[in-house]
């Protein structure tokens, strides 16, 4: 689902591992692949001699995969390359019998127990074409497999990342010229992550254990909830040696571009209303979304356009798919919300961007046990944490 960092990113990680779904674009040729590959292997992932390394992507990302694999080998890693294609991924969801979609890929349990580093690149070249017309019921049939990954990831030694190379399909999806898209993506991928990390840590301290988080927006969102005692995660583009040894998978995982503070919330504490002028569901516009949240659950969902997509998607999953599970605040100053003309881009990691994620939050330490979920982008939000304003009108006030 579009619009969710905490849920969508986690599902993306799980789907990358299962090899059935990953989002992508066509890579920008101007970037120095070798330079970025060294950053990824030496700094972000910290590949060590003897590490078992998997580089996963699509046939359109082979040059970037090769560059990363070469640098990982030079660092002493034992490298394996894995690939998926649009045709194979689409066939899985459209042609495989329902009884086979329900199969749980248990073979991944011993496999992932032997992998130290996973570096994922966009595996699917045209996601809207590959997945845009697949009924949500088909995706839901694979939920037992997704649950298996939720169950095992913390117990594996796996660390790594997903690298969102700027590709042409994503630029089209977001209504942005490829030149504009690539320039912003590369700036964000190579942002000042030490500074982002410091800001993220300061914000995480304020959020941890907060009794009242209040989110408002000019569009009409007015929602409050408490954090409980959940861990607050900071995705800052680097997996440090201490994080690499963490018992929690999410502390061993990062994304490029990066810059995000996210956490599970007290799931039944949320009350208020959410109003979202525009979002997307299954790659199609969804406009004038509005609903109430009562004791954490969505009530009275309405949308002027494509609202049935959301309702059908949530109905396909068992468990609390429409209960608030987590929220996030973006940290990356190089990413911008673009909504002028044809542009329809609200990056989760943009500094000051707020995301409300409903549904699954198991890997965040939450109690929403369901593999379904959806996230809503709250632009120009104001966020108050126990009386202190940390975001005002979309501007992040914490840090430099």
The pLDDT tens digits for 370-393 are: 988 999 999 999 999 999 999 999
* Angle subtended at Cα 123 by Cα 172 and Cα 308, rounded to the nearest 5 degrees: 55
Is a pLDDT exceeding 60 seen at residue 10?
Answer: no
Q: What's residue 25's pLDDT?
A: 31
31: pLDDT confidence band, cut at 50, 70 and 90? low
Residues listed for the chain: 400
Q: What is the DSSP letter of 124?
A: -
Cβ 53 vs Cβ 119: under 8 Å? yes
Q: How far is CA 34 from CA 65, 182, 212, in A?
A: 10, 17, 46
φ, ψ of residue 237 to 5 degrees: the values are 85, 0
Which has the closest alpha carbon to 15: 125, 150, 170, 113? 150
Q: What's residue 28's pLDDT?
A: 40
Is a pLDDT exceeding 60 seen at residue 15?
Answer: no
203: pLDDT confidence band, cut at 50, 70 and 90? very high
Of 341 and 224, more confident? 224
Q: What percent of the chain has pLDDT over 90?
A: 76
Is a pLDDT exceeding 60 seen at residue 9?
Answer: no
* Angle subtended at Cα 235 by Cα 229 and Cα 238, rounded to the nearest 5 degrees: 130
Cα 192 from Cα 194, distance rounded (Å): 6
pLDDT digits (tens, 9 = 90+) for 277-296: 999 998 888 999 999 999 99
The alpha-carbon radius of gyration of the chain (Å, integer) is 20
Cα 247 from Cα 230, distance rounded (Å): 15
pLDDT digits (tens, 9 = 90+) for 58-72: 999 999 999 999 999
Is a pLDDT exceeding 60 seen at residue 127?
Answer: yes
What is the number of other CB atoms lying within 10 angstroms of the CB of residue 365? 17
Of 21 and 36, more confident? 36
Q: What's residue 381's pLDDT?
A: 98
The residues with which 30 forms a beta bridge, in sequence order, are none
Is a pLDDT exceeding 50 seen at residue 314?
Answer: yes
Q: What's residue 326's pLDDT?
A: 97
In the chain the domains, ranked by start, together with CATH numbers, are 6-175 (3.40.1830.10), 195-396 (no CATH)
Q: Which residue has the tokens 């973006």?
A: 330
Is a pLDDT exceeding 60 seen at residue 239?
Answer: yes
Cβ 357 vs Cβ 328: under 8 Å? yes
pLDDT digits (tens, 9 = 90+) for 75-122: 999 999 999 999 999 999 999 999 999 999 999 999 999 999 999 999
Q: What is the DSSP letter of 338?
A: B
- In which order are the strands placed within the sheet that holds 253-256? 78-84, 52-58, 117-120, 159-163, 253-256
pLDDT digits (tens, 9 = 90+) for 223-238: 999 999 999 999 999 8
Q: How far is CA 358 from CA 8, 236, 366, in A?
A: 10, 23, 12
Mapped onto helix, strand or coil, the DSSP state of residue 350 is: strand
**Average pLDDT across the chain, whole number:** 89
Q: What's residue 70's pLDDT?
A: 97
Instruction: Please state which of the ranges 12-21, 216-225, 378-387 shows the lowest mean pLDDT.
Output: 12-21
What is the number of helices (H) and of strands (E) in the chain?
Answer: 14, 18
Mapped onto helix, strand or coil, the DSSP state of residue 355 is: strand
Q: What's residue 400's pLDDT?
A: 58
Q: Which residue has the tokens 């990413």?
A: 335
29: pLDDT confidence band, cut at 50, 70 and 90? very low
């Amino acid at each position: 689902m579009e619009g969710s960092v905490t849920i969508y990113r986690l599902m993306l990680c799980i789907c990358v591992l299962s090899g059935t779904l990953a989002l992508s674009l066509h890579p920008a040729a101007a970037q120095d692949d070798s330079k970025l590959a060294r950053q990824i292997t030496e700094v972000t992932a910290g590949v060590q001699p003897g590490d078992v390394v998997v580089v996963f992507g699509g046939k359109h990302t082979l040059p970037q995969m090769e560059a990363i694999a070469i640098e990982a080998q030079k660092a002493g890693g034992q490298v394996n390359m894995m690939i998926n294609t649009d045709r194979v991924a689409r066939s899985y969801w459209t042609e495989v019998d329902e009884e086979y979609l329900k199969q749980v890929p248990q073979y991944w349990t011993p496999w992932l127990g032997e992998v130290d580093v996973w570096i994922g690149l966009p595996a699917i070249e045209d996601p809207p074409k590959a997945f845009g017309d697949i009924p949500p019921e088909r995706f839901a049939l694979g939920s037992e497999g997704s649950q298996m990954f939720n169950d095992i990831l913390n117990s594996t030694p796996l660390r790594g990342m997903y690298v969102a190379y700027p590709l042409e399909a994503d630029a089209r999806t977001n209504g942005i010229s490829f030149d504009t898209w690539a320039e912003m993506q590369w700036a964000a991928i190579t942002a000042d992550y030490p500074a982002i990390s410091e800001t993220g840590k300061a914000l995480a301290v304020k959020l941890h254990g907060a009794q009242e988080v209040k989110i408002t927006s000019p569009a009409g969102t007015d929602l409050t909830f408490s954090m409980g005692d959940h861990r607050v995660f900071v995705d800052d583009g680097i997996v440090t040696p201490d994080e690499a040894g963490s018992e929690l998978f999410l502390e061993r995982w990062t994304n490029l571009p990066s810059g995000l503070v996210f956490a599970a919330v007290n799931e039944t504490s949320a009350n208020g209303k959410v109003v979202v002028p525009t979002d997307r569901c299954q790659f199609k516009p969804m406009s004038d979304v509005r609903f109430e949240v009562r004791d954490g659950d969505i009530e009275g969902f309405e949308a002027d356009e494509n609202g049935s997509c959301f309702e059908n998607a949530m109905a396909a999953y068992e468990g609390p798919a429409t209960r608030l599970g987590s929220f996030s605040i973006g940290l990356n100053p190089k990413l911008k919300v673009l909504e002028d003309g044809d542009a329809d881009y609200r990056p989760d990691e943009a500094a000051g961007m707020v995301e409300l994620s409903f549904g699954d939050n198991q890997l965040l330490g939450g109690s929403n046990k369901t593999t379904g979920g959806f996230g809503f982008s709250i632009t120009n939000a104001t966020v108050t944490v126990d009386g202190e304003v940390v975001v005002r009108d979309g501007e992040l006030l914490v840090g430099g």
